Structure 1
Amino acid sequence: MRRRLGVSALALTASLSAAAPSLAQTGPAPGPAAGSGPVLTVPPLEVVAKQLDRERTEIQPSLGATRYDFAASAIQNIPLGDNASLNQVLLRAPGVVQDGFGQIHVRGDHGSLQYRLDGVQLPEGLALFSQILSPRFADSLSLITGALPAQYGLRTAGVVDISVKSGTTNPGGEASTMLGSYNWVQPALEYGGRSGAIDYFAVGQYVSNGIGIENPTGSALPIHDNTAQWYALAKVTGIVDESTRLSFIGGGASARYQIPNVPGQIPNFTVNGISNQNSSFLDQRQWEDTYFGIASLQKSYQNFNLQFSGFARYSNLSYQPDALGDLLYNGIAPWAKRTSFAVGTQADASWKIAANHTIRGGFLVQRERVTSFSQTNALPLVPDPSDPDAEFIPGEQTVGFADGSELIGWTYSVYLQDEWKVTPTLTMNVGARFDAISAATTENQLSPRINLVWEPDPKIALRAGYSRYFVPAPLNQVGFNSIAVRAGTTAATEVTRNDPVRAERSDYFDIGLTVKPVDGLTVGFSGFYKFAENYLDKGQFGAPVFQTAFNYAYAQVKGFEVFGNYDKGPWSAYANLAWSRVSSTNINSAQFNFEQADLDYIANHWIFADHDQSWTGSAGAAYVFNQGSEWATRVSADMLFGSGLRTSVVTPNDTALPAYATVNLSVAQKIPLPGSKGTTIRFDAINLTDLSYQLRDGTGVGVGAPQYGMRRAFFVTLSQKF
C-alpha cells in the first residue's frame, strides 16, 4: 500500500523555477530560436493553482504530530477502492479500531474525529450509519494523530485531512458501476475541468444494497436491512490574480435505512390483548440527511499566507418505529426527529518572520441550533389487580405523549504558535489555543502545545510532544429531552438524574521514531498517554439509533503503535500493530441512560471503556504487473485484525469479545479499448474465508444492539474514463 507513515515536518516540495507567469499572459509563448530544441510551456493558470495549493499547506502543517498519508494508489489497493467507505480506508492506519454502525475509534477515543476539506473544519453532523464524505472526493487523504499542534482543537483523537479533487488535479471524467453480493448496486460519476480562470469538479454516487447496517445475527443474510443512499460533492475555484483564489465546496448525503431484525425474539409486553408477533416482520426505519457548504478566500503575499472561510452544515435524523412491535418488545414506540444547523467562520494564517521562525494563528466561531421532537406511545404503569400491594405493572392500553426541545450553542476558538528552527536538525513548535463554549454548559480553557522534532539524519526522525486538550460534547449528541413526561409509563427511566455533559479536559503526551533504512522502506514506533477529566464517551440507548454523549469523571488512555510500509516499483506493502488500554471511572453526567447498579459499580471501580480493544492490526500487499503499460494488472490482498471490543458478563465491560481476522483480495485489470481514455475491470472478494465474527453482542456500557461483520461477499466494478 502506497502510504507515508511517520513524522510530518515542514517539507514542501521545491518552489517553481520561476515565479508564476502573469495571468495577463494569455497569448502563445515565443517560438524557439533557430536551431534550438523544443520549448516546454505550462499553462499559467495551472501553475498558479498548484502554487496556491502548496502555499495553503504552509498555513496548517502537522509538525510534530503523526501523519498517515493515503495516496490515490493506496486507496486503489484496499478492498473496493474508491467505492469503499471513508472509514474502511482509515481502518488501514495504525490504531484505528472497527466498531458497529460503521464507526471507528482512534487511539482509545469514541469518535472525536474532525474532518477538514481543503483545510476547513467541517461541523459534526447527526448521521450515524451514513458517511457524508467518500474517498472518491479526495485528491489526497491523511489521518493526523498524536500531540496535535495548536491549529487543531475541539475534536482531537484524529484529524482526517482531505485535499479535495479539482479540475486541475483530475481533469476529464470517469463513470463506474459496482455490482455485487447483497444486491449491491453502486454507480458513480465524476467530472472536472477548467474554463479560463474557473476550475470545477463534481462527483456523485448512489448506493443500494441489502446490508445497510451490520447484521445483528451471525447469519449470511440479514433480515429487513435494505438501504438507498446518495452522496455528492462539487468544487468551484476562481483565480483572481497570482496570489488570490476564491473557492466553494458544496456537498450532501441522503440515506434511507431499514433497521435489521433478529428472528425468534419473545415480546416483553402485551398491547391491546396482543402478546405475540414474529420479530422477523418488524418494520423500523431511519432517515439521515446532511448538506454542507464552504466558501473560502485564499491570499498569499511574499511570506504571508491566509485562508478565510465561511461554512454551513444542516443535518437531519428521523426515526419511524414499528407501531405495534416497538411496544411489544421495548414498551415504547417513538416517532422522533432531530435537526442541527451550524454556521460559522474560520481563518488561518502563517507569516515567516525570519529564516528560523514562522508564526501561525487563527480563529473559529460557530453557532449551532439543535431541535428535537418526538411523538411517543408507551404503556401505562398500573396496579397489579391480583396483588394491589405489589409494584405497578405495565397495562395493555397505550398512552401517548409529545416531547420537544431546542438548544443553541456557540463555540469560540483562537490560537497562536511559533515554529522555531532551533538548529538545522532540531525544530520546536510551541503555541497555545483558547476555546470557549456556551451551550448546555458554559466552559473555556487555555491549552498550551509544544512539539519537538529532531532529524539527525535525513533517514531518521524523532519527535516528542505535549498537548492540553479541551473537547466539548457534540451539541447534537447531548440528550436534553424531558424525563418527567415519561414518568408512570414503560418509557420511564430507572434513574432520573441528568447532570449536564461537560467538556473533556486532558493532558496528552506522545513520542515517536521514524526510520527509512533503505529506499522505499519506512518503519516506525509511536507511544502515547492521556489522562482525562470528564472523559467523553457515547452510547446508543434505545431508539432512534443515534449517539448520546456522557462523561466519566476520570480516564486513562495509553498505548503504542509499530508500523512499516514499503513502496518501490511495482511492489507496495504495509503492516501495523497497535496496543491500547482505556480505563475510566464514575459516570457523572446523563445518568438517566444507565441502570443504578451499573452507576454504583462504576462510581467505585475503574472499568474498561466499551470501545477499548487491546490489539488492533492490519497488513496488506499489492503488485502491479506491466506497470505503466495500457495492460497493467493490479493484484492486492489485505487483512484486518481485532482482539475484540468489550462486553459485560459479571461487571460492566469486564470481558473482550472473541478475536477475529478477515482476509480480502482484489484484482484490477486495465483494458485499452479503441477510442477510450481508460477502461478498468475490478474484482473484489471481502472476508474471503466467510468468517462469522461479532463486533458487538448488545451488552456493555452504552451498547444498544449486537452487530456482526460482513460475511463473504464478491463485487465487480467497471469504470470508464472519458
Structure 2
Amino acid sequence: MPRRLLPLLLLSPLALPAAAQVAGAPDAPEATLPDLVVEAQRAAAARQGILARFGSRETVVDRETIEALPGGGAQPLNQILLQTPGVVQDSFGEIHVRGEHRNLQYRLNGVALPESLSGFGQVFDARALRSVSVLTGALPAQFGFRTNAVIDLETRSGALDPGGSIGVQGGSRGTFQPHANWAGFLGGWDVFATGTFLRSDQGIENPTSSFTAINGQTQQTRGLAYAARQLDDTTRLSLIAGTSLNRFRIPVTRGVEPEFTAFGLSDYDSAALRARQWERSWYGTAALQKSWGDVDLQVAPFIRSSSIHYVPSVVGETVINGVASDVYRGSLAMGVQSDAAWRVAADHTLRAGFQFTGERARFRSATTVLPLDGAGNPIDDPLTLTDRFGRTGWLYGGYVQDEWRLTEAVTLNLGLRWDQMAEYVTAGQVSPRANLVWRPTETTTLHAGYARTFTPPQFELVQGSTITQFQDTTGASPGTRNDPVRPERAHRFDAGVSQKLGENLTLGVDAYYKDVRDLLDFGQFGNALIFTPFNYQRGKIYGVEFSGNWRSERWLVYGNLAVSRSAARDIRSAQFTFDQEELAYIAGKYVRTDHDQLLTGSAGAVWRGWEDGRLSASMLYGNGLRKGFANSEKLAPYATFNFGVAQDFRVQGGGTWTARLDLINAFDTTYQLRDGSGIGVGAPQFGLRRTVLAGLSRAF
C-alpha cells in the first residue's frame, strides 16, 4: 500500500484523500517475488481507491506503533482503540466511541463484517494486523447500518510483510500466551497465518478491588489465515478466515448473603459459585477485485457465526439470587458486499455499491426459579422453565456518491444512501450525505460534513413469551411491557481542522453533534454477560476532540482529549427490564446514558534511544461513567499508566530475537469502571491492577 495511504503518524486528524488512479499490472509471463509485491501493492491501492474515507476523521495506528507501545502485539484490539481520540473504556472489553454504545462497523480489508454477539474486542488479535484505522464523523454514503465509527482492519500479507515469528509472553495472574505467525508465498499464493493462545487467572473484570479475582480464569484461542492470488493482470482473489474461541469463569464476590431457601439450603458461600461462559466466533470473506481502466470493482461474499453460552452455578445462584439461568444465543449471518469506483474525469470520481445480509438468530434458556405463594413469598420448590425460539432477519443497503474536486483546494463529496431492514420490525430510510474539505495551505485542512443515518438494532432480542412465563416466580421482571426495538434514526454534523506545524508536529480539533430519534442503547440484565438492546425515544450526543502528535526519527509522542455528552429520555422498548419508578422518571426528563463520560484522555510516547531498543509509555484517563438511580451520579475519575521496554538482538545462526518487559497499571491504581448501579448495568467491575508481563520471541 502506498505510504501516503498508511502514514506512520499514530494520529491523523483528518481522513486522507482517495487514492490516485491505479496503473495496470505489468504484462509478465512469469511472476517473480518483486512482481508479486508490486501486484499486492496495486491491489491494496485499488481497494483504498474504492473505499471513500473522504471527509471523515481518520486515526491510523500502524503495525510499528502497535508493536512499540506497552503490551505490543499481545494487546486485544480494544486496548489499541483506547489510544485513539474519543474512545471510552468500559467493562467486559466494551468500548464507547463518541458517546455511543457500540454502533461500530468492523471492516476486514475493506469488507464489512456483521458484529458477533460479544463484539469484536476479543475476536481479533493485534499480531494479525498491518494497521488499524478508525473513521469517525459524518461518514460518506458508502458506510451504512453501523455508522458511529468504522474500524478498518488491514491484515498482514506475505507480499508486504514477509517472514514469521514464534514466541511466548507471561507474567502476573498466571498469564501465559504463546503465539506464532508466518507470511510468505506458497504455490503462487500470497499467504499469512497467525495463532495465539491465552491462559490467565483474570479474564473478566474483577467485581472487587482485590489483586486477583475469585473464579476469574480464562482460556482464549484466536487465529486468522489470509491467502491472495493474482488471477490475471487486472483480477485478484483474496480469502480470509478466522476464529475466536473463548472460555470465561465468572468472577464472584465473597460474603454475599443469600436471600432465599432452595434445595433445602438457606446458606451458601458466594465464593464457591462457579458460573462459566463460552464465546465462539468464526468469520470468513472472499473478495474478488477487478479493474477496467478507470473503473475498480470489488465483490465480496462474507459469513460470520457466533454464539454465547452462559452456564450458571444452579444451586448457589438460586439460593443467593432466587434465579439461575442457563442461556444460549447463537447467530449465523451471510451476505455479499459490492463496491465500485469510476474516475469519470479529472475532477469527478463516482462510487456506488450495495450490501445484503441475512441473519438467523437462535435463543434458548433453562431457568431455575422458585414459585411464589399468594402473599408473594418464595416456596422452596425449585422449578425449571425453558424457552426456545429462532428468527431470520434481512438487511439491504445501497449507495451512490460523487467526489467532486471543485478547485485544487476544495473538494465536495455528495452521496445518497438507501437502507432497508426486515427483522422484528420492518423499516427503511433514504439518507443524504455531504462532506466538504478545504485545504487553504499545504499545512492546513478543514472539513465539515452532514450525514442522515439509519441504524438497525442488533438482532438479539428477548421474546414476549419469555417474560410472561416467569410471572408469580422469583424470576418475574419488574414489568411486562416489551415493545419491539426500533432502528435508530439520526442527523449527524461534524467539523474539524488539522494543522501541521513544522516537519514533526500535527494538531487537530474536531467537533460533532448528533440529534437522535429512537436512540439505541444496551443493557446487561441478569448474571449472563449478554447485552440486550433497547431504545430511548429521543437523544442528543455532542462533543469536541483535541489531538496532537510529534514524530521524528527517534520519537513518537501523541495525546488526545475528548469532551462529550450523551443524554436521552423516555425508554420506549424492552421496558420489562426496568424498574417502574425509573421508567416514569426517564419518561419526562433527559438523563445521561450509562456510557456517558464527560472527559476522556489518552497519551503515549515511544523513544528509540539506542540501537534496536525502545522505551514506551502510555496512559488512559477517564473522569467516570454513570451510576445511581437513572444514571444521576458518576463514578470517581481515574488515570492509569503503562510502561514498556524492548530489545532486539541477533544470535549467530539463530536469527533475530526480541525480549520485552511491560508494566501495565504501573502505579497499581485501584479504580472502578462500574458499581452495579445505573440503567442496564449488571455488576460491579474494577479495572486491572498492576500487571507485569515478560516476553521473548524469535523472528525468521
Report the counterpart of residue 643 of structure 1 in structure 2: 623
CA distance in 2 between counterparts of 1:490 and 1:610 reads 26
- 1:43, CA displacement in angstroms? 2.1
- 1:176 is the counterpart of 2:167: yes
The residue type equivalent to 2:103 in the other structure is S
Comparing 370-379 and 271-280, the one that deviates more: 271-280
Counterpart of 2:364 in structure 1 is 373
* Partner SS, residue 432 of structure 1: strand
Q: Give the Cα separation in 1 of the matches to 2:667 and 2:618.
A: 13
2:5 maps to: none
- Sequence identity of aligned pairs in percent? 42
Count of matched residue positions in the alignment of Structure 1 and Structure 2: 693
3-state DSSP of counterpart to 1:223: coil
- CA drift at 1:14: 9.1
Mind listing any 5+ residue stretches in structure 2 that lack a counterpart?
Answer: 1-7
Query: Match of 2:525, SS?
Result: coil
Tell me which residue corresponds to 1:21.
26
Q: Would the aligned equivalents of 1:676 and 1:721 in 2 still touch at CA under 8 Å? A: no
Per-residue deviation, residues 185-226 of structure 1 (Å, max 9, x unmatched):
011110111135311110010000000100000111110000
What do the CA deviations read for 1:271-320 (whole angstroms, capped 9, x no partner)?
13311111111010000100011011100111100100101111111111
Q: 1:149 aligns with which of 118, 140, 150?
A: 140
Residues 405 and 481 of structure 1 are in contact (CA less than 8 Å); yes or no, is this contact kept in structure 2? no
> TM-score, normalised to structure 1's length?
0.94
Q: Aligned in 2, Cα 1:12/1:336: closer, same or farther, shift over 3 Å? A: same
Report Cα offsets for 1:546-604 as digits up to 9, x if no partner: 01000000000000001000111101100110000011000000000111011000001
1:44 aligned to 2:29? no
Give 3-state SS (helix, strand or coil) of 2:495's partner. Answer: strand
Deviation of residue 479 (structure 1)? 5.7
Deviation string 1:94-132 (CA, Å, 9 cap, x unpaired) is 110000111100001001111100110011111259611
Alignment map for 1:232-247 (pairs within 5 Å) = 232-247=223-238
Shift in Å, 1:78: 2.4
Shift of 1:399: 1.3
User: How far apart in 2 are the matches of 1:334 and 1:173?
Assistant: 45
Gap change, CA 1:61 and 1:297, over 3 Å in 2 = same
Whole-angstrom CA distance in 2 between matches of 1:312 and 1:292 = 6
2:432 aligns with one of 425, 432, 448: 448
CA displacement, residues 443-488 of structure 1 (integer Å, 9 cap, x when unaligned): 0000100000000111100000000010010102566662111112
Tell me the secondary structure at the aligned position of residue 266 of structure 1.
Answer: coil
Map of 1:603-682 to 2, 5 A cutoff?
603-626=587-610, 631-648=611-628, 651-682=629-660
Q: What residue number does 2:4 align with?
A: none
**Secondary structure of 1:327's match?**
helix
Distance 1:128 1:666 in 2: 28
- Specify the alignment match of 1:59 in structure 2: 50
Shift of 1:59: 0.2
Report the Cα distance in structure 1 between the residues aligned to 2:77 and 2:183, rounded to whole angstroms. Answer: 21
> For residues 264-283 of structure 1, what are the structure 2 equivalents within 5 Å?
264-283=255-274
Render the CA deviation track for 1:135-171: whole Å, top value 9, x for unaligned. 2111111110011011111111111101111111121
**1:125 touches 1:476 (CA, 8 Å); kept in 2?**
no
Equivalent of residue 699 in structure 1, options 677, 694, 699: 677
Distance verdict in 2 for CA 1:480–1:235, change over 3 Å:
farther
Task: Show the 5 A alignment for 1:241-260.
Answer: 241-260=232-251
Residues 478 and 162 from structure 1, CA distance in 2 versus in 1: closer, same or farther, beyond 3 angstroms? farther
* Structure 1 residue identity aligned to 2:615: V
- Residue type matched to 2:161 in 1? N
Mapped contact 2:11–2:84 kept (Cα < 8 A): no
Distance 1:285 1:254 in 2: 14
Whichever residue aligns with residue 24 of structure 1, its letter is P
Output the CA distance in 2 between the equivalents of 1:129 and 1:264.
34
Q: Does 1:352 find its partner at 2:330?
A: no
Alpha-carbon distance between aligned partners in 2 of 1:128 and 1:434, rounded to the nearest angstrom: 25
Q: Structure 1 residues 143, 26: closer, same or farther in 2, change over 3 A?
A: closer
The answer to whether the 8 Å contact 2:78/2:121 transfers is no
Q: Which residue of 2 aligns with 1:287?
A: 278
Shift of residue 25, structure 1, vs aligned partner? 4.0
2:166 and 2:36 mapped to 1: Cα distance?
27
Structure-2 change in CA distance of 1:478 and 1:81 (3 Å): farther
Instruction: Tell me how far 1:526 sits from its aligned partner.
Output: 0.3
Of residues 436, 450, 460 in structure 2, which corresponds to 1:466?
Answer: 450
Mapping 1:190-589, distance limit 5 Å: 190-383=181-374, 391-477=375-461, 482-589=466-573
Structure 2 CA distance for aligned equivalents of residues 79 and 114 of structure 1: 26
Shift of 1:678: 1.7
Q: State the shift of 1:133 in Å.
A: 1.0
Question: What is the alpha-carbon distance in structure 2 between the residues aligned to residue 100 and residue 140 of structure 1?
Answer: 25
The 1:687/1:238 distance shift into structure 2, 3 A limit, reads: same
SS at match of 1:423: coil
Q: CA RMSD in A?
A: 1.4
Query: 2:367 and 2:121 mapped to 1: Cα distance?
Result: 25
Inter-partner Cα distance in structure 2 for 1:77 and 1:258: 31
The answer to whether the Cα contact below 8 Å between 2:69 and 2:606 also exists between their aligned partners in 1 is no
2:88 aligned residue (91, 97, 102): 97
Change (3 A) 1:312 1:480: farther
CA distance in 1, matches of 2:186, 2:41: 16
User: Partner of 1:69 in structure 2?
Assistant: 60
Secondary structure in 1 aligned to 2:118? coil
Number of the residue aligned with 1:386: none
1:193 aligned partner, one-letter code: G
TM-superposition CA deviations, 1:370-400 (whole Å, max 9, x none): 01111111000113xxxxxxx3211111012
**Partner of residue 687, structure 2:** 709
Pair member with larger Rg: 1
Deviation at 1:5, TM superposition (A): 1.6
Where 2:469 maps in the other structure, the secondary structure is helix
Kept in 1: contact 2:18–2:52 (CA 8 A): no
* SS of equivalent residue, structure 1 residue 394: coil
